[in-house]
Amino acid sequence: MKTNMTTLNARESMIAAAMQQVMETAKKPAERLCRYYSSVLERQLNLRQTWLLVNAQLAFTFAVLPVESPMLLRAACCGWFLHAVLKCKEALGE
Protein backbone atom coordinates (compact mmCIF):
# COMPACT_ATOMS: atom_id res chain seq x y z
CA MET A 1 0.00 0.00 0.00
CA LYS A 2 2.82 2.36 0.88
CA THR A 3 4.48 1.67 -2.50
CA ASN A 4 1.24 2.64 -4.26
CA MET A 5 1.10 5.91 -2.30
CA THR A 6 4.70 6.68 -3.22
CA THR A 7 3.99 5.98 -6.89
CA LEU A 8 0.86 8.14 -6.72
CA ASN A 9 2.79 11.02 -5.12
CA ALA A 10 5.52 10.70 -7.75
CA ARG A 11 2.92 10.85 -10.52
CA GLU A 12 1.25 13.85 -8.93
CA SER A 13 4.55 15.69 -8.65
CA MET A 14 5.37 14.88 -12.30
CA ILE A 15 1.97 16.18 -13.38
CA ALA A 16 2.42 19.32 -11.28
CA ALA A 17 5.86 19.92 -12.80
CA ALA A 18 4.47 19.47 -16.31
CA MET A 19 1.61 21.86 -15.58
CA GLN A 20 4.09 24.42 -14.24
CA GLN A 21 6.16 24.14 -17.40
CA VAL A 22 3.06 24.58 -19.58
CA MET A 23 2.06 27.68 -17.61
CA GLU A 24 5.53 29.20 -17.96
CA THR A 25 5.53 28.51 -21.70
CA ALA A 26 2.06 30.04 -22.08
CA LYS A 27 3.12 33.22 -20.23
CA LYS A 28 6.10 33.95 -22.49
CA PRO A 29 4.15 35.66 -25.31
CA ALA A 30 2.29 37.78 -22.75
CA GLU A 31 5.56 38.78 -21.13
CA ARG A 32 7.00 39.75 -24.53
CA LEU A 33 3.93 41.85 -25.22
CA CYS A 34 4.31 43.44 -21.79
CA ARG A 35 7.92 44.36 -22.56
CA TYR A 36 6.86 45.79 -25.93
CA TYR A 37 4.16 47.99 -24.40
CA SER A 38 6.59 49.04 -21.68
CA SER A 39 9.12 50.16 -24.27
CA VAL A 40 6.51 52.00 -26.34
CA LEU A 41 5.01 53.78 -23.34
CA GLU A 42 8.44 54.31 -21.74
CA ARG A 43 7.23 53.04 -18.37
CA GLN A 44 7.17 49.67 -16.64
CA LEU A 45 3.88 47.78 -17.06
CA ASN A 46 2.71 44.61 -15.38
CA LEU A 47 0.72 41.81 -17.02
CA ARG A 48 -2.62 43.13 -15.78
CA GLN A 49 -2.02 46.52 -17.36
CA THR A 50 -0.94 44.82 -20.57
CA TRP A 51 -4.15 42.79 -20.73
CA LEU A 52 -6.19 45.94 -20.10
CA LEU A 53 -4.48 47.59 -23.08
CA VAL A 54 -5.17 44.53 -25.24
CA ASN A 55 -8.81 44.62 -24.12
CA ALA A 56 -9.07 48.29 -25.14
CA GLN A 57 -7.56 47.52 -28.54
CA LEU A 58 -10.01 44.67 -29.12
CA ALA A 59 -12.93 46.85 -28.05
CA PHE A 60 -11.82 49.59 -30.45
CA THR A 61 -11.50 47.08 -33.28
CA PHE A 62 -14.98 45.69 -32.69
CA ALA A 63 -16.46 49.17 -32.37
CA VAL A 64 -14.92 50.59 -35.55
CA LEU A 65 -14.25 47.84 -38.08
CA PRO A 66 -17.56 45.99 -38.59
CA VAL A 67 -19.09 48.46 -41.07
CA GLU A 68 -22.38 46.69 -41.66
CA SER A 69 -23.18 45.64 -38.10
CA PRO A 70 -26.46 46.72 -36.44
CA MET A 71 -26.41 50.01 -34.55
CA LEU A 72 -27.31 48.31 -31.27
CA LEU A 73 -24.27 46.05 -31.56
CA ARG A 74 -22.08 49.06 -32.43
CA ALA A 75 -23.42 50.93 -29.40
CA ALA A 76 -22.61 47.94 -27.18
CA CYS A 77 -19.06 47.80 -28.60
CA CYS A 78 -18.64 51.55 -28.07
CA GLY A 79 -19.73 51.07 -24.46
CA TRP A 80 -17.22 48.25 -24.12
CA PHE A 81 -14.52 50.51 -25.58
CA LEU A 82 -15.37 53.35 -23.19
CA HIS A 83 -15.31 50.98 -20.22
CA ALA A 84 -11.97 49.49 -21.36
CA VAL A 85 -10.38 52.93 -21.77
CA LEU A 86 -11.56 54.03 -18.33
CA LYS A 87 -10.12 50.83 -16.79
CA CYS A 88 -6.80 51.47 -18.56
CA LYS A 89 -6.74 55.05 -17.31
CA GLU A 90 -7.42 53.86 -13.77
CA ALA A 91 -4.81 51.10 -13.92
CA LEU A 92 -2.11 53.26 -15.49
CA GLY A 93 -2.73 56.07 -13.02
CA GLU A 94 -3.21 58.92 -15.47
- Residue 42: predicted pLDDT: 93
Distance CA 45, CA 92 (A): 8
- Residue 51: predicted pLDDT: 94
Phi and psi angles of residue 41, each rounded to the nearest 5 degrees, phi first: -85, -10
Q: Using CB atoms within 10 A of its CB, is residue 88 exposed (0-12), middle (13-18) or buried (19+)?
A: middle
Question: What average pLDDT does the chain have?
Answer: 87
- Residue 84: predicted pLDDT: 96
Distance CA 35, CA 42 (A): 10
Phi and psi angles of residue 7, each rounded to the nearest 5 degrees, phi first: -65, -40
Instruction: Give the angle subtended at the CA of 49 by the CAs of 45 and 55, to the nearest 5°.
Output: 140
pLDDT(69) > 90: no
